[in-house]
Amino acid sequence: MKKRTIFTVCSLGLLLTGCGSTGSVMKLGPENYMVSASKHYTSGGAVAKTNALEAATSHCVSMGRQLLVKNLDSTFDAPFYTTTVTFTCTTQK
């Protein structure tokens, strides 16, 4: 019985760690974009921030440009951390 309980608790922990999402990049206007990422608190807020920044960077790279962050906002609304990045893509130098 003890092994089953340990297995159940560990499995639940792994499932919660993977909970979260990264939204699609939204165009706000000429050369202005926004993307948000959420992650369960067991993963920490840094993972949500990393996911949002990676999505923004990938978007700019896909256009042959470089990410320039205009605003980064992180919030905690139990049980999720959410990071929203507002950015533009500049020409690479």
Which domain does 9 fall in, by range?
A: 2-91
Q: Which amino acid is at 64?
A: G
pLDDT in tens, 48-61: 999 999 999 999 99
SS percent in the chain: helix, strand, coil, step 5: 35, 45, 20
Which H or E element spans position 23?
A: none
Residue 11 binned pLDDT confidence (cut-offs 50, 70, 90): very low
The number of distinct structural domains making up the chain is 1
Mean pLDDT (the chain) is 85
User: What's this model's pTM, rounded to 2 decimal places?
Assistant: 0.78
User: Which pLDDT belongs to residue 44?
Assistant: 82
